[in-house]
Structure 1
């Protein structure tokens, strides 16, 4: 069975269910409290017995190949259709998974197995297992694709066998979805009115599941020890702020906790900006977006602009590079949605787990540490030039001049080269701080660029040398790690010394408590999923700059992420 498979209503036979009132602990991913019955993903197609199937006659093999390719194409088409009807992170996840569903590597491996006499279902299973093993060994960002691959396998097998498309059942009443892991496709399609919280055994605080849960605005806890033994139908309370799942809690206690959390959420909804602490220290509260639709939705929130426009979406699922005019139109939609407001555009952050069909990606032993982000421009300089031309054209067409930043900058020389080309197009240059080397040399990088934006997801992963999708390492990939906070402080201090802004656009900016700590470290802007903007702004408006600075100092003076979170909470309560 795949990592997303779980019985609908049974827990493992050899594991006793947790006792009433048992508190299971995990990693907080999205704050809030909910109390509801558990639902689990429905059964997926069985793959254990496929290897025993009789060999296909040679005359039937071409027809079986055609049957397989049609099934894979049907799955990819459905995913693309769902991507077109989604927005933000959900759209990006669906588009990326659709691309993977028709990736030539695993398609060719499956066709080869069919050519050797394996029926399509057996061939699909064997080919996916081959790539799961490969991706797992590579680790890093490639390991994130394992759940996606298994999900694609199950969908293709269901298509081949004429079964309903697998996925998360639609509950009749508001419920809490618990699973070993969730395919990003399933998470992207959730109805937040019916699935009111998420809890998973695997995953990390920056996994696709956590990111989309944040976009939906529902509590989420990941890497929960003992969750697999909680049966469907069990009443549980998920506390996404504390990182706990309480099994069959006292109903009155749970109801009061939900009411308190709902009151805090209502207070957040009433906040309408602009961003500032209680004593008037200004902090811009911005939104992360992926396309024009997401920008228009973000414009309906109190977000003061866009702190991260991920441009990869318009490049995915393309066999050829979009023209400069096409790019200008796409970028222009975001600039128009926030006319007259700050918009920060990140240049193409592809490679590794997001390969482009029209770029010659080399085979790499460790793609997460390979040719990705700005490094793609070294072998394909025209791609960056044409993207900057498209951005400049969009700026001219809309009258809104954006800031532009490069991902995966590691040295001052890289920052200088990017800044020179960006300024040549009349644009304001900045860089992402995602690599520890960049944080350590932030003062020298700032000699060349006008701003920094800290991407805490990758900065945490690279600082802690821990795969952000590993449940075993989830405590290491928590952005509250004091080592990560120390690097943030170093970059912010460098910016303050020369009067240049330093923002945060990683998932850490969506955590209201951590947002306050970031401000205390000297960060000048916070950019988060649109659904998190109000909660972050509201929390910041309730504390003073001095409290933020005291909380930051307390967090830096600890040794673990849990200690840092507790120390800051004691100051900010």
Structure 2
């Protein structure tokens, strides 16, 4: 027997933990009043980082995977997510009230009134369970086997939250996402950087090595490298900046 008999169940894969009850909205549909569950074929990491968390309570995608960069960003932001739920979710009418089960990788679509109340109660119960798990992690000290827990940092403001988390540091900082949410248009100086990408990379490398000089343990990953020459060029730049610091 399904958890909610009135609902159609769309089975996907767990992306980020959490339980949300809200109407759904597609990328091109009118924005409903209140918070909603975003439904899409897929989301890029930049799309995910730019989501308005005051409106988007969670998301469900037809494709994608649980180890994708998009899911890592969602985890860093604390957005419940289900991925790889198939194209059936894209046919759901906008405004359909759904329950998104990020833990189980399920989307319950079309909740009747009786099931809606039960879904909301379940959300409160799951939130309390997650809170208790979080407290236990904070009180538990080092993990067995000396495993170090790190977190994904998407926005600079999240750095202050590290002190109250079980993470001992930042596992992934995608510096390209820091350019999102700019309040001004691209200037001539910005365009200069876009025309000369080495200079943009150098600025980021200098910031990283300054953090390392202050005591941070640093590992740098060059994303979206397609040739050996690209990697070699980036490595040479990194070594040069490191030698200057």
Fold match (TM-score > 0.5): yes
Identify the residue that residue 30 of structure 1 maps to in structure 2.
Answer: 16
User: Does structure 2 retain, via aligned residues, the 8 Å contact 1:35–1:238?
Assistant: yes
What pairs up with 1:71-110 in 2 under 5 angstroms? none
Per-residue Cα deviation, 1:484-503 (whole angstroms, up to 9, x for no partner): xxxxxxxxxxxxxxxxxxxx
User: Does structure 2 retain, via aligned residues, the 8 Å contact 1:307–1:344?
Assistant: no
- Runs (5+) with no aligned partner, structure 2: 179-192
Change (3 A) 1:325 1:197: closer
Q: Which has the higher strand share?
A: 2
Identify the residue that residue 276 of structure 1 maps to in structure 2.
Answer: 142
SS of 2:198's equivalent in the other structure is coil
TM-aligned CA deviation for residue 350 of structure 1: 4.0
Identify the residue that residue 343 of structure 1 maps to in structure 2.
Answer: 217
User: Does structure 2 retain, via aligned residues, the 8 Å contact 1:38–1:176?
Assistant: yes
Pair 1:219 & 2:85 matched: no
Between the aligned partners of 1:243 and 1:286, the Cα distance in structure 2 is 23
Which one of 26, 32, 48 corresponds to residue 40 of structure 1? 26
Which one of 291, 296, 299 corresponds to residue 159 of structure 2? 296
Between the aligned partners of 1:313 and 1:174, the Cα distance in structure 2 is 24
TM-aligned CA deviation for residue 310 of structure 1: 5.1
SS of 1:176's equivalent in the other structure is strand
What pairs up with 1:69-468 in 2 under 5 angstroms? 170-225=31-86, 226-249=88-111, 250-268=115-133, 270=135, 272=138, 275-277=141-143, 282-289=146-153, 293=156, 296-297=159-160, 299-302=162-165, 303-309=167-173, 317=194, 319-322=196-199, 326=203, 329-331=206-208, 334-335=211-212, 343-346=217-220, 348-352=221-225, 367=226, 370-371=227-228, 376-377=231-232, 382-389=236-243, 393=245
- Runs (5+) with no aligned partner, structure 1: 1-18, 44-168, 353-366, 394-573
What value does the CA root-mean-square deviation take over the aligned residues?
Answer: 3.6
Q: Which has the higher helix share?
A: 1
Task: Give the TM-score of the pair, scaled to structure 2.
Answer: 0.71
User: Does structure 1 retain, via aligned residues, the 8 Å contact 2:46–2:177?
Assistant: no
* Count of residues in Structure 1 that have an aligned counterpart in Structure 2: 221
Task: Give the TM-score of the pair, scaled to structure 1.
Answer: 0.34
TM-aligned CA deviation for residue 330 of structure 1: 1.0
Per-residue Cα deviation, 1:441-461 (whole angstroms, up to 9, x for no partner): xxxxxxxxxxxxxxxxxxxxx
Change (3 A) 1:317 1:262: farther
SS of 1:182's equivalent in the other structure is coil
SS of 2:219's equivalent in the other structure is strand
User: Does structure 1 retain, via aligned residues, the 8 Å contact 2:22–2:35?
Assistant: yes
SS of 2:108's equivalent in the other structure is strand
What pairs up with 1:455-494 in 2 under 5 angstroms? none
TM-aligned CA deviation for residue 178 of structure 1: 1.2
Q: Which runs of 4+ in 1 moved over 6 A?
A: 311-314
Between the aligned partners of 1:213 and 1:295, the Cα distance in structure 2 is 13
